[in-house]
């Protein structure tokens, strides 16, 4: 499959399901575009920008509804998305996506004020994801090779929740994504 076909498929899913409410007064698509825009503006690597755009792709793939956290369910969207995207992208894109929820747990352990800055929706999902890490979990996370990119994705994820923010559209990120597509299985 050509890179353009891969990106067409990803964008199709965003166009069909990206209108879903994110729980933060923005849609899934707006959140993805904001996160990627912040990553690009801060000089993030191409892989981090792509991971920011795609970090919640797993939310678009499941049919559990928009309010699953309110029902006490953790869909493990980070794994759903990373598993699907691993067919098309390398570890430098996929692993920060897989780890972005763990990064939230880690930052709650690492930075005393981080938890207080989380939105209500992020606090709710944090509880479902296991709460702040303990010392052993944090040590294991810190030893991981994808820790720093995952934390950057998390920080841009936290920032990408601004109602009415103007961003480039999906097509503005097409060349970047196409350049990162690996040989497709």
Report the greatest alpha carbon distance in the chain.
46
Residues of the chain with pLDDT > 70: what percent? 90
The token pair at 108 is: 């709650």
pLDDT given for residue 33 in this prediction: 98
Q: How many Cβ atoms are within 10 Å of 8's Cβ, its own excluded?
A: 13
pLDDT tens for each residue of 141-172 = 999 999 999 999 999 999 999 999 999 999 99
pLDDT given for residue 130 in this prediction: 87
**Model-level pTM?**
0.91
**Tokens 């597509």 identify what position?**
181
Domains observed in the chain:
3-180 (1.10.3210.10)
User: Per-residue confidence at 107, pLDDT binned at 50, 70, 90?
Assistant: very high
pLDDT given for residue 75 in this prediction: 54
pLDDT tens for each residue of 29-69 = 999 999 999 999 999 999 999 999 999 998 888 765 555 55
Buried b (16+ CB within 10 A) or exposed e, 134-163: eeeebeebeeeebbebbbbbbbbbbbbbee
pLDDT given for residue 32 in this prediction: 97
pLDDT given for residue 128 in this prediction: 81
Span 80-104, average pLDDT: 94
d(CA 102, CA 137): 10
Helices then strands, counting H and E runs in the chain, come out as 12, 0
pLDDT given for residue 74 in this prediction: 45
Which residues have a Cβ under 8 Å from the Cβ of 172 and sit 6 or more positions away? none
Question: What is the pLDDT of the chain when averaged over all its residues?
Answer: 90
Is the model's pLDDT at 93 over the cut of 70? yes
**Which of 119, 99, 118, 100 lies closest to 108, judged by CA?**
118
pLDDT given for residue 110 in this prediction: 97
């Amino acid at each position: 499959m050509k890179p353009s076909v891969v990106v067409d498929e990803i964008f199709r899913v965003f166009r069909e399901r990206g209108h879903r409410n994110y729980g933060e007064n923005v849609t899934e698509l707006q959140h993805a575009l904001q996160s990627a825009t912040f990553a690009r503006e801060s000089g993030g690597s191409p892989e981090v920008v792509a991971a920011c755009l795609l970090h919640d792709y797993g939310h678009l793939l499941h049919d559990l509804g928009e309010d699953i956290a309110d029902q006490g369910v953790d869909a493990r969207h980070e794994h759903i998305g990373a598993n699907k995207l691993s067919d098309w992208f390398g570890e430098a894109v996929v692993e920060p996506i897989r780890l972005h929820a763990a990064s939230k747990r880690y930052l709650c352990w690492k930075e005393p004020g981080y938890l207080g800055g989380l939105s209500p929706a992020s606090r709710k999902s944090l509880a479902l994801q296991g709460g702040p890490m303990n010392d052993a979990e944090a040590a294991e996370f810190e030893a991981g090779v994808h820790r720093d990119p995952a934390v950057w994705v998390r920080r841009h994820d936290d920032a990408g929740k601004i109602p009415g923010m103007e961003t480039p559209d999906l097509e503005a990120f097409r060349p970047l994504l196409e350049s990162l597509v690996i040989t497709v299985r």
